[in-house]
Structure 1
Amino acid sequence: MNIRYKQASKEAKLSLLLTIIYLIAWIFTAYFGSDEKGLLGLPLWFELSCILVPFVFIILCWIVVRVQFKDIPLEQTK
């Protein structure tokens, strides 16, 4: 198998995994968070699901891209 396809498959699987984990984290914090006020004066479930979880996953995605993704030539090699 061509190395480009292996790398592209690996990156697609990592992206899908991050998406699924993000969705689970968002659902968990949005639906199971409490209604008490958080640090910003908003409901805690909102602060967790709409501020904290996206921030954490932006950093997590940045780390995954820096560590696992590679620049590969897209031209067909002979």
Structure 2
Amino acid sequence: MKDQRFKIAHREALIGIALVIVNFAIWYGFAYGLGTGDPASYSYVLGFPAWFFYSCMAGTVFMIVLIWIVMKLFFKEVPFNDEEVEK
């Protein structure tokens, strides 16, 4: 019988990959969506170009909160020892 820990680890790895894709989509969308055009026409947030602020700073804060939520809701504690795991 397959160890249940591998099923949990596989699911959590897929969640991790999804989080990376979300992070890249946010970064790419703001950086190249707002960052195109003439730099003289850029808008600024807290002294930073809007594309940089939203892609790097706000995106990072958003991802930290999202990862924290995902960790609390979907990840579970798994023992690493080889003893028989309750099913």
| Pair in the same fold by TM > 0.5 | yes
2:12 alignment counterpart: 11
- Describe how 1:1-78 pairs up with structure 2 within 5 A: 1-33=2-34, 35-38=42-45, 40-78=46-84
CA distance in 1, matches of 2:5, 2:44: 49
Three-state SS of the structure 2 residue aligned to 1:74 is coil
Output the CA distance in 2 between the equivalents of 1:5 and 1:77: 14
- The total of aligned residue pairs comes to 77
CA distance in 2, matches of 1:7, 1:66: 15
Unaligned 5+ runs, structure 1? none
**RMSD of the TM alignment (CA)?**
1.1
In 2: Cα distance, 1:68 partner to 1:36 partner: 38
CA distance in structure 2 between the aligned counterparts of 1:10 and 1:77, rounded to whole angstroms: 22
Q: In 2, Cα distance between the equivalents of 1:63 and 1:47? A: 23
Cα separation, 2, equivalents of 1:41 and 1:16? 33
Which stretches of structure 1, 4 residues or longer, exceed 4 Å deviation after superposition?
none
Aligned-residue identity in percent: 32
CA distance in 2 between partners of 1:46 and 1:13 (Å): 28
Shift of 1:76: 1.7
Aligned partner letter, 2:30: T
Larger Rg over CA atoms: 2
More strand by share: 2
